[in-house]
């Protein structure tokens, strides 16, 4: 201090100058120590462990973050955290960061919180310090109101830490639930994810898996074998294919990790950062009034002929771009994101190419959860309807189609975002009501001239209404009588006009103008004001 305030003679000044230059040349010990520790933490595991990771076809935890985050944007926090556990030699390993990298970054210019489990350190297993790093990041993400993206590659609860690791999972599940519907949560499974650990991804909004390297199961192949005698490998039991097509746990499947991170970025481009924001609009040169001649063909098509609903979605969407969610699961209903006139819209559509587009247990669950996501994040809903009813049979009834089907009704009715429907062809019975019908709270309902709206299909109706008359007829005449009666029924109901006259649909529209009509409807509803009736007390039939 005195150096700064005391007047100095020239000799003294020179001495001081030379001391200062020397100081500049020598890096202070404290700084050296810090740099050494930081480098140690950043280096992670040994070269052998990194090689073992690569040999399994996997990227390292840091490489994964680099694929996801905008270049140079990742800011790590908690790099020096270590486990306090001293049992089973953990302390001797001095694992800096405790097997997970946490921090915040920008993804396509927008902020996001990211954690990435490091399998090369104690198998990415979750101990208390590891869990608390993730929990702290989740708390920060809630405060910063940005999405949380978890990259999971872990042997599960760290066995050496006993119940501490189980409690660590509890802290994460609690935050997953607290953040649900407030900020988007995305899980990327790029390695094992076993035991109760699977429930964090299951509580998040979207789960990504990569073919060949991702596994999820509550009990792995060894336990399955011990408990049931069944021989099954990890990939068949809990690989990407199983969870994308059978269990419905996985929403997106990628062929490689790089492909996976590209898909995550694309999904994020459709999502708002939190439930107070609107999804990001994107200007498009695709004309609003672009005609869709394809839809006219529905008017001449055999009503029983299947077609992939995707063709219609592609034609309606800006630049024909449709990001499908849950592509392999319950294909009778198709869900995903498009833009209409630049604004993000969530699509829920029956798909006649699969089970004739009928509703069943899985498709009701799939659509209901998506609708709830859209509603939480202020994304308007477009419903495209071509549904012959509910899929019949004992398996559906005993599997709980009543309970699961009710979720869809509940989700549509409680949603307060703009809701617009277009009936393309069939809209029968209970499924007509469930698919965002007018009196279930839809805002605007359109139908094409090809629409058929009735309590049930013609043959089913005739069998019930005229069963006595048909039984009394000669056996060789019964088919002809049925056909004639079914035709009469069709003439009455196989059109949208009776429903339009009753006011249950708002307008029958020129098919080729559908894109323009839908865009105008959503524009009109853009600032819709609607309060949920019972946001806190509702009890969805789970
Ligand atoms: C501590 C673990 C670990 C764990 C792996 N490691 N899992 N350490 N706790 N849970 C360590 C290994 O000891 C090994 O350390 C290193 O990570 C790499 O593991 P490997 O077995 O060599 O790798 P690999 O052959 O690829 O097998 C990966 C694996 C296997 C399939 C994940 O490690 C495994 O089965 N782990 C146990 C999985 C499990 O049962 N977890 C508990 C689930 S129950 P060294 O130093 O020897 O190389 C659970 C409950 C959660 O998670 C409840 C939440 C509510």
41-54 per-position pLDDT tens digit = 888 888 999 999 99
Same fold, 45-268 and 293-451+505-524: yes
| Atom of ligand 1 lying closest to residue 56 CA | 26
Whether residue 196 has pLDDT greater than 70: yes
Do 315 and 294 contact (CB within 8 A), yes or no?
yes
Verify whether residue 195 is a known catalytic residue.
Answer: yes
Q: Separation of 363 CA from ligand 1 center, angstroms?
A: 35
Hey, whose CA ends up nearest to atom 34 of ligand 1? Answer: 155
The candidate with the shortest Cα–Cα distance to 211, out of 185, 187, 186, 189, is 189
pLDDT for position 536: 65
Q: What is the pTM of this model?
A: 0.92
Domain 293-451+505-524, CATH class in plain words: alpha beta
- The pLDDT-based confidence of 322 (bands split at 50, 70, 90) is very high
Name the catalytic one among 131, 141, 415, 431: 431
The pick from 52, 56, 155 for probing ligand 1's pocket by mutation, whose C-beta has the most ligand atoms within 8 angstroms, reads 155
Q: Which CATH number fits domain 45-268: 3.40.50.880, 3.30.930.10, 3.90.226.10, 1.10.3720.10?
A: 3.90.226.10
Helices (H) and strands (E) in the chain, counts: 23, 17
Q: Separation of 194 CA from ligand 1 center, angstroms?
A: 9
Helix (H) or strand (E) holding 186: strand 185-189
pLDDT for position 24: 62
| Atom of ligand 1 lying closest to residue 220 CA | 40
Both tokens of 230, joined, read 């069944």
- The pLDDT-based confidence of 16 (bands split at 50, 70, 90) is low
Helix, strand, coil shares of the chain as percentages rounded to 5? 50, 15, 35
Integer Cα distance of 208 and 375 in angstroms: 22
439-468 per-position pLDDT tens digit = 999 999 999 999 999 888 888 888 899 888
Whether residue 293 has pLDDT greater than 80: yes
Specify the 3-state DSSP secondary structure of 394.
Answer: helix
Kindly state the DSSP code that residue 97 receives in the 8-state scheme. Answer: T
Whether residue 17 has pLDDT greater than 80: no
Do 347 and 340 contact (CB within 8 A), yes or no?
no
Q: Can you tell me the mean pLDDT for 301-330?
A: 96
Which amino acids bring their CB within 6 angstroms of ligand 1? Answer: 122-123, 125, 155-160, 166, 169, 192, 194-197
pLDDT for position 459: 84
The pick from 44, 154, 156, 173 for probing ligand 1's pocket by mutation, whose C-beta has the most ligand atoms within 8 angstroms, reads 156
69-93 per-position pLDDT tens digit = 999 999 999 999 998 887 787 777 7
Whether residue 5 has pLDDT greater than 50: no
Verify whether residue 227 is a known catalytic residue.
Answer: no
CA 315 to chain centre: 23
Neighbouring residues of 11: CB distance < 8 A, sequence distance ≥ 6: none
pLDDT for position 463: 87
Verify whether residue 229 is a known catalytic residue.
Answer: no
509-534 per-position pLDDT tens digit = 999 999 999 999 999 999 998 776 66
Hey, whose CA ends up nearest to atom 11 of ligand 1? Answer: 123
| Atom of ligand 1 lying closest to residue 173 CA | 55
Q: 473 or 276, which is more confident? A: 276
pLDDT for position 458: 83
Domain boundaries, the chain: 45-268, 293-451+505-524
| Atom of ligand 1 lying closest to residue 215 CA | 31
Q: 493 or 256, which is more confident? A: 256
Verify whether residue 405 is a known catalytic residue.
Answer: no
Looking at the chain, how many residues does it have? 542
Integer Cα distance of 39 and 33 in angstroms: 10
Report in angstroms the alpha-carbon separations of 443 from 228, 370, 525. 51, 18, 8
Name the catalytic one among 150, 195, 357, 457: 195
Specify the 3-state DSSP secondary structure of 434.
Answer: helix
Specify the 3-state DSSP secondary structure of 264.
Answer: helix
pLDDT for position 139: 98
Neighbouring residues of 233: CB distance < 8 A, sequence distance ≥ 6: 221
Whether residue 7 has pLDDT greater than 70: no
225-281 per-position pLDDT tens digit = 999 999 999 999 999 999 999 999 999 999 999 999 999 999 999 999 999 999 999
Mean pLDDT of the chain: 93
Hey, whose CA ends up nearest to atom 46 of ligand 1? Answer: 122
pLDDT for position 334: 98
């Amino acid at each position: 201090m005195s150096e700064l305030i005391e007047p100095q003679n020239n000799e003294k000044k020179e001495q001081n100058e030379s001391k200062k230059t020397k100081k500049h040349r020598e890096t202070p010990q404290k700084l050296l120590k810090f740099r050494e520790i930081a480098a140690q933490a950043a280096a992670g595991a040994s070269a052998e462990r990194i090689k073992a990771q690569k040999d399994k076809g996997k990227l390292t935890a840091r490489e994964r973050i680099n694929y996801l985050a905008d270049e140079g944007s990742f800011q790590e926090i908690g790099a020096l955290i270590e486990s306090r556990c001293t049992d089973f030699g953990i302390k001797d390993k001095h694992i800096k960061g405790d097997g997970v990298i946490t921090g915040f970054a920008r993804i396509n210019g927008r902020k996001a919180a990211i954690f990435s489990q490091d399998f090369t350190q104690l198998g990415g297993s979750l101990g208390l310090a590891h869990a608390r790093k993730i929990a702290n990041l989740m708390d920060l993400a809630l405060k910063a109101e940005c999405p949380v993206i978890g990259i999971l590659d872990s042997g599960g609860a760290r066995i050496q830490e006993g119940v501490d690791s189980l409690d660590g999972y509890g802290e994460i599940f609690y935050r997953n639930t607290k953040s649900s519907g407030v900020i988007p949560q995305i899980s990327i499974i790029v390695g094992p994810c076993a035991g109760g650990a699977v429930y964090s991804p299951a509580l998040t909004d979207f789960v990504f898996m990569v073919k060949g390297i991702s596994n999820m199961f509550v009990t792995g192949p060894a336990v399955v074998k011990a408990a049931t005698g069944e021989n099954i490998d990890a990939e068949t039991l809990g690989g990407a294919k199983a969870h994308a097509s059978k269990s419905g746990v996985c929403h997106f499947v990628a062929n490689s990790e790089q492909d996976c991170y590209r898909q995550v970025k694309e999904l994020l481009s459709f999502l708002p950062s939190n439930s107070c924001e609107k999804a990001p609009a994107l200007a498009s040169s695709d004309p609003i009034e672009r005609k869709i001649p394809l839809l006219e063909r529905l008017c001449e098509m055999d009503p029983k002929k299947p077609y992939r609903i995707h063709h219609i979605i592609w034609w309606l969407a800006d630049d024909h771009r449709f990001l499908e969610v849950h592509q392999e699961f319950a294909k009778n209903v198709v869900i995903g994101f498009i833009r209409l006139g630049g604004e993000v819209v969530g699509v829920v559509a029956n798909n006649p190419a699969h089970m004739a587009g009928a509703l069943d247990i899985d498709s009701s669950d799939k659509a209901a959860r998506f609708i709830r996501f859209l509603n939480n994040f202020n994304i308007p809903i477009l419903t495209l309807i071509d549904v012959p009813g509910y899929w019949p049979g004992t398996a559906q009834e005993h599997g709980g189609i009543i309970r699961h089907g009710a979720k869809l009704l509940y989700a549509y009715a409680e949603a307060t975002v703009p809701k617009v429907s277009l009936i393309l062809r069939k809209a029968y019975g209970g499924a007509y009501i469930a698919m965002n019908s007018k009196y279930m709270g839809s805002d605007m309902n359109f139908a094409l001239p090809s629409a058929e709206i009735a309590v049930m299909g013609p043959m089913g109706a005739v069998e019930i209404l005229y069963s006595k008359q048909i039984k009394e007829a000669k056996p060789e005449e019964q088919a002809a009588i049925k056909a004639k009666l079914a035709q009469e029924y069709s003439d009455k109901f196989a059109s949208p006009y009776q429903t339009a006259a009753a006011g249950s649909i708002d307008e029958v529209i020129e098919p080729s103008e559908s894109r323009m009509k839908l865009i105008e409807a959503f524009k009109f509803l853009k600032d819709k004001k609607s309060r949920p009736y019972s946001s806190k007390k509702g009890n969805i039939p789970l």
